[in-house]
Chain A
Amino acid sequence: MTDVPIPAPSDALPKPKRDLVPVLLPLILALLMLPLVGSFSSWVTLTVASLAMGMMIFIMASGLTLVFGLMDVLNFGHGAFIAVGAYVATLVLLPLAGMSQADSLLVNLAVLAPAALAAMAVSGALGLVVERVLILPVYGQHLKQILMTTGGLIVAEQALYALWGPQIIPLPLPTALRGSFIIGDIAIAKYRLLVLLVGIAVFVAIQLVLNRTKIGLLIRAGVENREMVEALGYHIKRLFLGVFMVGSALAGFGGIMWALYREQVHASMGNDLTVLIFIVVIIGGLGSVGGCFIGALLVAMVANYGGFLVPKLALVSNILLMVAILMWRPRGLYAVTSR
């Protein structure tokens, strides 16, 4: 213990050691799969598909993990925002089917953008209501949070059924986003490429906000120690509300992307995705955005490669992945330190 270097007073604080092993996991997994899949072209297709799926799952899960890290609230109703976002998008996309079926990319995007904005606005507003009505009375009580938000999920799903009916609503992709780019013998679906770009943009934006702005500083400080942030005179409750709304809006955004990916909307989609998102959040380490990103990629990769190689196993591959990761790191890839 004697040879620990004592930093001179003038030195800056020692940077925390970066833990890069989890970052390498998706890369290693992808490379390992190359010989197993066999053909290079299907490997590229599968990899792009997993990356795109991972981005969507990340967008949906990021809000949940932030909300947990900051507010210590696990929202079991997070799936409801996803479904609401998708349903709101149908309100914009279906009446304007002419525009989304037009043959020009610009016109297509001109109808997608307001649909996405509407989805985010409505799910964000719903987030405001849910935070005020369901979560505010039960801060700090885990059991009641789980019960309340589960109740909220039931109500939201049933309300969607009552408003839109129980049938599956088809939501076709805009024309310019159909089909694939063919490079040699490699086919890459256009929509997946778009999703990939959007996902990276969202990830970079979240990282920038968290690491480069004052709000991000407060959020990260709040995750570490909320009493201290409060003692410094900041309204952490208002910050919570903001983060919750952004998280809900992101879930709604993910909902429209997922609906277009599957080309259908159904009220139970939120419920189905909830399990997947929870697995991602657990794998990443509750409250860690970076871990959530890697977790989403891993889950999507296991689902895609697994579905290709061993279709039967793919159904439970998520669980196996979660068990394996938790055996290795019982608190997820990046454990948030304060808890």
Chain B
Amino acid sequence: MMLLSGDPPRSRVLALILIAIIAMLAITPFVFPGAKPLNVAAKICIFAALVASYDLLLGYTGTVSFAHTMFYGIGSYAMAIALYTMGPNWGAVATGIVIGLPLAALLALGIGLFSLRVEAIFFAMITLAVASAFLVLASQLSWLTGGEDGRSFSLPELLRPGTVFIQDLFGVRINGRILTYYIILVGCAAMILGLLRVVNSPFGRVLQAVRENRFRAEALGYRTVFHLTYANVLAALVAACAGILNAMWLRYAGPDTSLSFSIMLDILLMVVIGGMGTIYGAIIGATIFILAQNYLQALMGAASTAAADAGLPLLPGLLHPDRWLLWLGLLFVASVYFFPTGVVGRLRGAPKPAD
């Protein structure tokens, strides 16, 4: 209870699902051999933390920001550029962290102070514009960011696949790659628990009050702009941390993996599917979404070829694996409409207004 900040899942099914997901993530290297399951598991961890940080904004303060991938990208690029220019050593890792996090915090502070005074719809538009400008900058300043190609780099010795610690543990060779995976798992778990702590603190309650009725919160004497800016900075910091972990896992940072608008849509989808305003929803949403992204596309490809073989019109195009966002978009609209509380809200059974 202490660990969960006094906010347990409050539903037996939800608790079981969460335990199952976390247990699976913990034992993935031992039960699912090969690179792909480990990649999927690492991505689930990183996105769970990223989505949880976005939930702090969307679910708890009710502000829609389209600039969240910008902070994620700042973390990724800071780590990538530091390791690329300084070589694979721990000093570079520290430099990436020391530069990336304050930069993200400062930018979040700037955006927050500049535009959180305005209403939700205005904030969404401004963040969208800022994020698109940042994306343009990242792909244009190629001397720094590598442009469209991004930056590939190598990790310090300890984290490389070639470094073997234990030759054989339950039939698995424990190497630097698996160590990296566990660093990511523990890091993301710590971030999610930290966010859970934040939203269940008095500060988190104020955020919810601001979401429900900003004028009333202000009338009660809370400086709402201060609280919103603070939440924005916190969310940006966690997003940048997730970006750092992502870059370390991929050993690469580029516009497509860390900045693009489609990642932003993915995050939005995960929050909505998992359930807004419940940090637990981030874990569920990220797991569902990334499993679907990695395993559903193969299924769609098979269905598409089957439809093409059967000579059906239009269906092969609609079922083509590249069109999977179409179905996710429909799912997204349907879930906003029919399940505004997401999976977690459903399981908890207590409908909570999302707007």
Q: Is B320 interfacial (CB 8 A cutoff)? A: yes
Closest to B136 in A: A315
* Chain B positions 35-77 with a Cβ under 8 Å from a chain A Cβ: 58, 62, 64
Q: Is A286 interfacial (CB 8 A cutoff)? A: yes
Q: Is B265 interfacial (CB 8 A cutoff)? A: yes
Pair A162/B332 contact, Cβ less than 8 Å: no
Contact of A155 among B117, B128, B129, B330 (CB under 8 A): B330
Provide the residues of chain A in CB contact with B286, threshold 8 Å.
none
Pair A282/B126 contact, Cβ less than 8 Å: yes
Q: Is A231 interfacial (CB 8 A cutoff)? A: no
Q: Do A144 and B325 form a contact, CB below 8 Å, given A151-B333, A318-B129, A322-B129?
A: no
Contact of B124 among A146, A155, A166 (CB under 8 A): A146
Q: Is A105 interfacial (CB 8 A cutoff)? A: no
Provide the residues of chain B in CB contact with A163, threshold 8 Å.
314, 317
Provide the residues of chain A in CB contact with B125, threshold 8 Å.
74, 278, 281-282
Q: Do A154 and B265 form a contact, CB below 8 Å, given A144-B340, A278-B128, A278-B129?
A: yes
Provide the residues of chain B in CB contact with A282, threshold 8 Å.
122, 125-126, 129
Q: Is the interface of B mostly helix, strand, loop or mixed?
A: helix
Pair B326/A315 contact, Cβ less than 8 Å: no
Interface pick from A35-43, A51-59, A119-127, A134-142: A134-142
Closest to A339 in B: B119
How many angstroms from the CA of A331 to the CA of B122 in the assembled complex? 9
Provide the residues of chain A in CB contact with B354, threshold 8 Å.
143-144
Q: Is A271 interfacial (CB 8 A cutoff)? A: yes
* Chain A positions 127-162 with a Cβ under 8 Å from a chain B Cβ: 134, 137-138, 141-148, 150-152, 154-155, 158-159, 161-162
Provide the residues of chain B in CB contact with A158, threshold 8 Å.
323, 325-326, 329
Pair A148/B337 contact, Cβ less than 8 Å: yes
Q: Is A312 interfacial (CB 8 A cutoff)? A: yes
Q: Is A197 interfacial (CB 8 A cutoff)? A: no
Q: Is the interface of A mostly helix, strand, loop or mixed?
A: helix
Provide the residues of chain A in CB contact with B120, threshold 8 Å.
142-143, 146
Taking the closest CB of chain A, its distance from the CB of B325, in whole angstroms, is 5
Q: Report the interface size class on chain A.
A: 35 or more
Provide the residues of chain B in CB contact with A278, threshold 8 Å.
125, 128-129
Pair B326/A146 contact, Cβ less than 8 Å: no
Against A, the Cβ 8 Å flags (1 = close, 0 = not) of B108-138 are 0000001001111110111011101100110
How many angstroms from the CA of A148 to the CA of B126 in the assembled complex? 19
Q: Do A154 and B328 form a contact, CB below 8 Å, given A147-B272, A275-B128?
A: yes
- Which of B121, B130, B272 gathers most chain A CB within 10 Å? B121
Provide the residues of chain A in CB contact with B119, threshold 8 Å.
142, 339
Against B, the Cβ 8 Å flags (1 = close, 0 = not) of A275-311 are 1001101100010000000000000000000000000
How many angstroms from the CA of A159 to the CA of B320 in the assembled complex? 11
Taking the closest CB of chain B, its distance from the CB of A308, in whole angstroms, is 17
Pair A147/B268 contact, Cβ less than 8 Å: yes
Q: Do A155 and B333 form a contact, CB below 8 Å, given A143-B64, A275-B128, A275-B129?
A: yes
Provide the residues of chain B in CB contact with A326, threshold 8 Å.
114
Contact of B62 among A138, A143, A318, A339 (CB under 8 A): A143
Q: Is B355 interfacial (CB 8 A cutoff)? A: yes
How many angstroms from the CA of A330 to the CA of B355 in the assembled complex? 25
Taking the closest CB of chain B, its distance from the CB of A133, in whole angstroms, is 9
Closest to A271 in B: B261
Against A, the Cβ 8 Å flags (1 = close, 0 = not) of B302-322 are 000000000000100110101
Q: Do A155 and B329 form a contact, CB below 8 Å, given A144-B340, A146-B64?
A: yes
Pair A286/B332 contact, Cβ less than 8 Å: no
Q: Is A316 interfacial (CB 8 A cutoff)? A: yes
How many angstroms from the CA of A331 to the CA of B354 in the assembled complex? 27
Pair A144/B336 contact, Cβ less than 8 Å: yes
Pair B317/A150 contact, Cβ less than 8 Å: no
Q: Is B200 interfacial (CB 8 A cutoff)? A: no
Contact of A286 among B58, B122, B128, B355 (CB under 8 A): B122
Contact of B265 among A143, A148, A150, A318 (CB under 8 A): A150
Which residues of B are in contact with A by a Cβ distance under 8 Å?
58, 62, 64, 114, 117-122, 124-126, 128-130, 132-133, 136-137, 140, 261, 265, 268, 272, 314, 317-318, 320, 322-323, 325-326, 328-330, 332-333, 336-337, 340, 354-355
Which residues of A are in contact with B by a Cβ distance under 8 Å?
68, 74, 76, 134, 137-138, 141-148, 150-152, 154-155, 158-159, 161-163, 165-166, 271, 274-275, 278-279, 281-282, 286, 312, 315-316, 318-319, 322-323, 326, 330-331, 339
- Cβ contacts A to B, 26 pairs, < 8 Å: A138-B336, A142-B120, A143-B355, A144-B336, A144-B340, A148-B333, A148-B337, A152-B333, A154-B325, A155-B326, A158-B325, A161-B322, A161-B323, A162-B317, A163-B314, A165-B317, A278-B128, A278-B129, A281-B125, A282-B122, A312-B140, A315-B133, A315-B136, A316-B137, A330-B117, A330-B118
Q: Please give 5 more A-B residue pairs, beta carbons under 8 A apart, in addition to A281-B125, A319-B130, A322-B129.
A: A137-B337, A147-B268, A151-B330, A151-B333, A154-B326
